[in-house]
Amino acid sequence: MDWKERITLDPEVLLGKPVVKGTRLAVEFIISLLAQGWSEDEILRNYSGLTREDILACLSYASTILHEERVYPKAV
């Protein structure tokens, strides 16, 4: 899944947070719903503008960001 087809970052929308294209639903919001235990079906029922592919794109985006994260030891 190439998240770049479904996720956009625009400084004019939600202060530049990544959102599902064509919506004002932030990736972090969708991930948060999943983390709270919402099922894919519950999300799709409550946010009719979303598709399964949008949810997968949110997960793919989060995975990409986490894979790129670097942690460095703190100098003592």
The CATH code of the domain that includes 54 is 1.10.10.10
Torsion of CA 15, 20, 21, 25, to 10 degrees: -60
Q: Report the predicted TM-score, pTM, of the whole model to 2 decimal places.
A: 0.88
pLDDT value at 39 more than 90: yes
The whole-number pLDDT of residue 69 equals 84
pLDDT value at 18 more than 90: yes
State the total domains in the chain.
1
CB 58 within 8 A of CB 8: no
17-56 core/surface letters (b: 16 or more CB in 10 A; e: else):
ebbbeeeebbbbbbeebbeeeeeeeebbeebeebeeebbe
pLDDT value at 10 more than 90: yes
The pLDDT-based confidence of 9 (bands split at 50, 70, 90) is: very high
What is the residue range of 46's domain? Answer: 3-68
